[in-house]
Amino acid sequence: MEIALAVVALVAGLAALVKSADVFVDGAADGAKLLNAPPLLVGMVVVGFGTSAPEMTVSAISALRGNPDLALGNAYGSNICNIALILGLCAILRPLVVRRSGWNFDLPVLMAVSLVCEIVLLCFGAGLSRGESFVLLGVFAAVLVISARRQMADQSAVDGTAKPSSAGPDGNSGLAAAAAAGAARRRALLVACAKTILGLAGLVLSSRAVVWGACEIAHALGVSDLIVGLTIVAVGTSLPELASSVAAVRHGEDDLAVGNILGSNLFNALAVVGLAGAISPMETFDAAIVWRDLPVSFALAAALWIFGRPRRNSRDGTLGRAAGVLFLVGYVAYVATLVAAARAA
């Protein structure tokens, strides 16, 4: 009976997830246009961090229960899933534009964070202390501020090149038209905010149902916590990113799709892991996280940086279908490795 309920929660949660993603992306994209905010910044902050709420919830709960393997497996497994599975699938559906700003700053930061975590855990191997966790949270805040300033500066430069519109000859009619336009803009902004909030709430609730159902099924089959964290929970908590990115690609919002993944991965590596360690220091964890999962996470970020590099005489880069296929093949190989490890255990 409990397994049947888990299957129902999994299927219903998936259906609600897809619909919530459409509403969420529509609201975020509309809000970005009305506020004249860079879509990549909205993708990183609103969509990327908002859809990472399930990872934060799962890792925080895992830390409170003294289960560091599930907390770390969820965070790093989600990062692997985000690039290899989600961006791979999106690139196959339609080649994605990778903005130079994300290629110059966000991807190198993501690679640096993965590399530093790898070195610290490999060399000092004593777990993640509360002090180190607060350092991660501080780095996350600094990265967020720097990225926001860079994106707003880029947008201001673009706006500065635009020609100002000419005013109409009739001052009174011009003022009346401006007032009407302002009122319409405020109403549209309220609608966009409502859609964003409702869509995010639906994403979080439906993803929780999916994760619960998947975990119940996995535990009934006797799978270890680390494998569950790296596969079932990681994919489950990445479903909002998957649904949001696919919806963004369908709407032609490449910046939201790519920014969603970059923001989510930075959020997972810094804020999710940092919060979990701040709640409960991780004194011990499975060594496979250091020699297998963190290197894979770093390698995928490096591959995205290489494949998405701007071409000669081009301001931005493109993640093509061939790269998407390679990412998907890599993810299948990674999951196969995890399955083999689970069987050997």
pLDDT band at 303 (very low <50, low <70, confident <90, very high): very high
Question: In this model, does residue 75 exceed pLDDT 80?
Answer: yes
More confident residue, 183 or 300: 300
SS3 282: strand
Select the highest-mean-pLDDT range: 145-159, 177-191, 261-275: 261-275
pLDDT band at 344 (very low <50, low <70, confident <90, very high): confident
> Comparing C-alpha atoms, which of 21, 5, 8 is closest to residue 239?
21
- Residue 80 has what pLDDT? 94
Spatial separation of the C-alpha atoms in residues 273 and 128, rounded to whole Å: 9
Tokens representing residue 34 in the block = 């009305």
Strands 317-319 and 96-98: antiparallel
As a whole number, the mean pLDDT across the chain is: 80
Select the highest-mean-pLDDT range: 80-94, 108-122, 217-231: 80-94
Question: In this model, does residue 124 exceed pLDDT 80?
Answer: no
How confident is the model over 315-321, as a mean pLDDT? 87
Taking the model in full, what pTM does it have? 0.76
- Residue 299 has what pLDDT? 93
Task: Compute, in degrees rounded to 10, the torsion defined by CA atoms 194, 199, 201, 207.
Answer: 180
Select the highest-mean-pLDDT range: 44-58, 250-264, 295-309: 295-309
Q: pLDDT, tens digit, for every residue of 3-59?
A: 888 888 878 887 887 788 778 777 877 887 787 766 656 656 666 566 677 777 778
Decide: 28 and 211 in contact? Cβ < 8 Å.
no
pLDDT band at 257 (very low <50, low <70, confident <90, very high): confident
Q: pLDDT, tens digit, for every residue of 277-301?
A: 898 887 777 888 888 888 999 999 9
- Residue 17 has what pLDDT? 75
- Residue 326 has what pLDDT? 96
Question: In this model, does residue 212 exceed pLDDT 90?
Answer: no
Select the highest-mean-pLDDT range: 39-53, 125-139, 318-332: 318-332
Question: In this model, does residue 161 exceed pLDDT 60?
Answer: no
Q: pLDDT, tens digit, for every residue of 106-123?
A: 788 888 888 877 776 666
Question: In this model, does residue 258 exceed pLDDT 90?
Answer: no
- Residue 79 has what pLDDT? 92
Spatial separation of the C-alpha atoms in residues 272 and 61, rounded to whole Å: 11
The HSE-up count of residue 111 (CA atoms within 13 Å, CB side) is: 15
pLDDT band at 345 (very low <50, low <70, confident <90, very high): low
Question: What domains sit in the chain, N to C, each tagged with a CATH number?
Answer: 41-157+224-344 (1.20.1420.30)
Spatial separation of the C-alpha atoms in residues 66 and 174, rounded to whole Å: 64
